[in-house]
Structure 1
Amino acid sequence: MEHMSPGTDAHQQRARSPDNVGSRQGFNRARGAVVVVVVWGGASRLSLRGWAVLSPAPRPPACCRPPAPLPAHARAPCRCPPLSCVLLGLAMDTSPALPAFLLCSALLLIKMYVVAVITGQVRLRKKAFANPEDALRHGGPQYCRSDPDVERCLRAHRNDMETIYPFLFLGLVYSFLGPDPVVARLHFLIFFLGRLAHTVAYLGKLRAPTRSLAYVLAQLPCASMALQVAWEAARHL
């Protein structure tokens, strides 16, 4: 049996003492608990990560969700203006004289419709029809005839077509040449008043030269616009 030094014997005795044995066992238990906690934490993270992959994503609250699309029958109608209105608005912004031209043109066309209605009423009152079937319906074939008053109305209507249709073309082109708005409105107003006076003089059988003066008065702005349109066209050749 080997001889043990007094220092080594004392060290072994201290290691076998109850205090040292208890502290060593407590340290081992603490180390085992730490290992269990680490393993449990890793397993928990893996299980949570797998659950997050397998489970659907949580829905946001109702206040954060985008509104569901409405069905077709519940949608409000489109309030956008039509293309024709947009183009007309752009044209009026480009040409300040265009609204006055459109107003005079509409009034002149209405006047032509009125003359056509007056012609029909005069035919019925005078019983002077141009077609045999109309005469048979209103009394007999003897009423298929001409009448001076009906012919007067027809001549007034033809004169309107001979002068108003050229005005519609000249006035439209003239409006986009950039004329002074006051001068352009004066052109349109003079033509409208001249044609109105001409129709009244024609149908009312006013004394000459009332009708001729009204005709010449209406032709003056047309001649002016025609010259300006021709000048601008020739200048850009």
Structure 2
Amino acid sequence: MESAAYWYAVATVLLFLKMFATSAYQGYHRIGKMTFKTPEDAKLAGRAPADEELPQVQRAAKAWANDVENIPIFLGLGVAYVLVGASSGWAAWLFLIFTAARYLHTLCYLAALQPWRTIAYVIGIMCMFVMSAQIVVALL
């Protein structure tokens, strides 16, 4: 069985790759349609600035904002989880299920799939509550 630190590192790298892919998705749509809201980006492309972002870029930005609200909390809990020596047996499950839930949340956001987006969000949050409980148990 791998250590909690191992699974934390795996989850961290996978979450970075997911967030990078979300940014790349935005760039793909902006460059593919040569549509830029930011004046300097539009100027570089020889275009006038767009009045608003493309719908795909807007959805990806909302998914990104949700990541920024959730992933840092997970990363902080993950560090605490590893430092206090919480259950390594639970670590793989909690860290990887959280990570999978964040991937699914983003995919569902981009594809406008409800209630699946909310279900993925709730699964991720539940993982963080269980992580918190495991941390408290390790502290006692």
TM-score, with length taken from structure 2: 0.86
1:132-191 CA-to-partner distances (Å, cap 9, x unmatched) read 122123243253532222111111111111111111110111122222322121111110
Matched residue, 1:225: 131
TM-fit CA distance, 1:126: 3.3
SS at match of 1:195: helix
List alignment gaps of at least 5 residues for structure 2: none
Q: Aligned partners of 1:205, 1:126: CA distance in 2, in Å? A: 21
Number of aligned residue pairs? 139
1:192 to 84, 87, 99: 99
Partner of 1:145: 52
Distance 1:212 1:165 in 2: 19
Structure 1 or 2, whichever has the larger Rg, is 1
Supply the distance in 2 between the matched residues of 1:111 and 1:169 (Cα, whole angstroms): 18
The TM-score normalised by the length of structure 1 is 0.53
Which one has more relative contact order, counting CA pairs under 8 Å at least 6 apart? 2
Equivalent position amino acid for 2:129 in 1: A
Query: In structure 2, what is the equivalent of residue 174 of structure 1?
Result: 81
1:216 partner amino acid: V
Name the amino acid aligned to 2:58: E
2:20 pairs with one of 110, 113, 121: 113
2:86–2:134 contact (8 Å) kept in structure 1: no
Return the letter of the residue paired with 1:134: D
Q: Which of 48, 63, 88 is the matching residue for 1:156?
A: 63
Q: Find the partner of 1:202 among 109, 118, 121.
A: 109
User: Identity rate of aligned residues, in percent?
Assistant: 33
2:135 aligns to what SS in structure 1?
helix
